[in-house]
Amino acid sequence: MAKDGTIYSTCPVCGYIAFNSQEEACDNCGEELTEEEMRESGFSSMDSLIRLDQLYYFVPDDEKAAITFEQPTISEDGYTLDESWRPSVSKDAIKKQAIHYHEFRRKYPIKVEIIKKGQD
Ligand SMILES: [Zn+2]
């Protein structure tokens, strides 16, 4: 799949065909999957980094929202979901992460801004 001349493959984190292997980053979820990112996060395998990224990706912002792996076939940014993709984390793991995340948000209320990486 190509968009603006970029060849995309399936992003291991979000499952959309939006992973730019040249940049080693996903244009949909914005996650970077580089050796550097892996080492900085203290992991020795890319799979561990992918699982961590997925925990954050699937934690709903709304505390009362259900945890689901269901995603629209076409993302908000217009990328296609790879129907054969499956997440590597469990819903239970996301639930645990969500508890920590929302506790943290209550303790340290901050305005979360999503900064999109792009070509200016
Ligand atoms: Zn992604």
Higher pLDDT, 3 or 57: 57
Separation CA 75–CA 80 (nearest Å): 6
Q: Is the pLDDT of residue 2 over 60?
A: no
What percentage of the chain exceeds 90 in pLDDT?
77
Res. 15 pLDDT band, cuts 50 70 90: very high
Q: Which residues pair with 20 in a beta bridge?
A: 8, 25
What is the predicted pLDDT for the residue at 111? Answer: 66
Q: Where are the domains of the chain?
A: 2-107
Mean pLDDT of the region 69-87: 96
Q: Quick one: pLDDT at residue 77? A: 94
Tell me, in angstroms, the distance from the centre of ligand 1 to residue 59's CA. 14
Q: What is the pTM of this model?
A: 0.82
Q: What is the pLDDT of residue 59?
A: 95
Q: Decide if 100 contacts 63 (C-beta within 8 A).
A: no
Ligand 1 centroid–CA 106 distance in Å is 27
Ligand 1 center to residue 100 CA distance, Å? Answer: 23
Instruction: Kindly state the average pLDDT of the residues 92-102.
Output: 94
Per-residue pLDDT reduced to its tens digit, 32-51 = 999 999 999 999 999 999 99
Task: Assign 114 a pLDDT band (cuts: 50, 70, 90).
Answer: low
